[in-house]
Amino acid sequence: MKGMGRDSLRIFWVFLFVASLPHSVNAQVFKTDPARFGAMTCQQLWYVEQETLSEGRVCLTSERAKRAFRRAERCISSSESILPKATRAYLDKLRSRARSKGCAGF
C-alpha cells in the first residue's frame, strides 16, 4: 500500500469489504426457466415458489415450507417487497401459471 494516498487507501478497503459480502438478493439466479412452468406439476411450482422466496430471504409462513427450507439463510422480512423487481416478476409468472393449472394455494 506504499505510495497510496488516504482516499485511494479508503477506496481499496471499501472495495475489499464489499467484495467479501455474501451475494446479494439482487443477484438472484433463477434455477427454473419460466418457459418450463407449463410442464411442471403443482407440487413443483410450489417448491420453486418457496425456494425463490427463501433465497430472497423472505420469511416462509407454512410449516411445510419452513421444514423444506430449514437450512436456508435466516429470513429478514415477511414482505415480498424486499425482493428485486425481476424476482417479483418471476414469481408473478409462476403464480399465474399455477392458477391457470388450477393449483391450490396460488
3-state secondary structure labels for all residues of 24-87: CHHHCCCCCCHHHHHHCCHHHHHHHHHHHHHHCCECCCCHHHHHHCCCCCCCCECCHHHCCHHH
Q: What is the pTM of this model?
A: 0.73
DSSP class of 21: S
Question: Band of the pLDDT at 28, cuts 50, 70, 90?
Answer: confident
The pLDDT, as a whole number, for residue 102 is 97
**CA proximity to 65, closest of 7, 30, 15, 105:** 105
Per-residue pLDDT averaged across 81-100, rounded?
A: 98
Per-residue pLDDT averaged across 83-104, rounded?
A: 97
If residue 12 lies in a helix (H) or strand (E), which one and from where to where? Answer: helix 6-20
Q: What is the pLDDT of residues 47-64, one digit of tens each?
A: 999 999 999 999 999 999
Tell me which of 18-27, 65-74, 83-92 is least confident: 18-27
Of residues 33 and 15, more confidently modeled: 33
- For the chain, what are the domain ranges? 24-100
